[in-house]
Amino acid sequence: MLTRVAVFEGVIASGDEDAFFAHVRERLEPIWRQFPHVEAVRVLRTKQADPGAIPIVMVLEMDFPDLDAVHASLNSEIKTRAHETTLEVLKPFEGRFFHFISESRSLGAA
């Protein structure tokens, strides 16, 4: 399985955090779930971090069966709509976001 990860590094304007995440839930999450071939979508909202850690506001993880599925998804109309909506939702966000694709496997507890 491959996971495409989006990391949102930065800060949200003070007082806008709840509205920002409401927009993520209402406007972006439904789009992210429509990506072709996506098997699972996870949205991680940072609640606490180590002292001195880089400021990560949110992480988006999308699972795909293989690289062909990732590429097909990224070439879809949904990707274009997701990017446009993301730029609108990110207005109170100051920072950057970037993506990477990782191979993942789940491990049970020891």
DSSP 6-67: EEEEEEEPTT-HHHHHHHIIIIIHHHHTTSTT--EEEEEE-----TT---EEEEEEEEESSH
pTM above 0.85, yes or no: yes
Q: Is the dihedral angle over the CA atoms 14, 19, 22, 24 positive or is it negative?
A: negative
CATH of domain 2-103: 3.30.70.100
Residues 19-31 pLDDT 10s: 999 999 999 999 9
Region 58-83: mean pLDDT is 96
pLDDT tens-digit readout, 76-105: 999 999 999 999 999 999 999 999 999 977
Reply yes or no on whether the pLDDT at 110 is more than 90.
no
The mean predicted confidence, pLDDT, of the chain is 94
At 52, the pLDDT band (50, 70, 90 cuts) reads very high
Which sequence spans correspond to the domains of the chain?
2-103
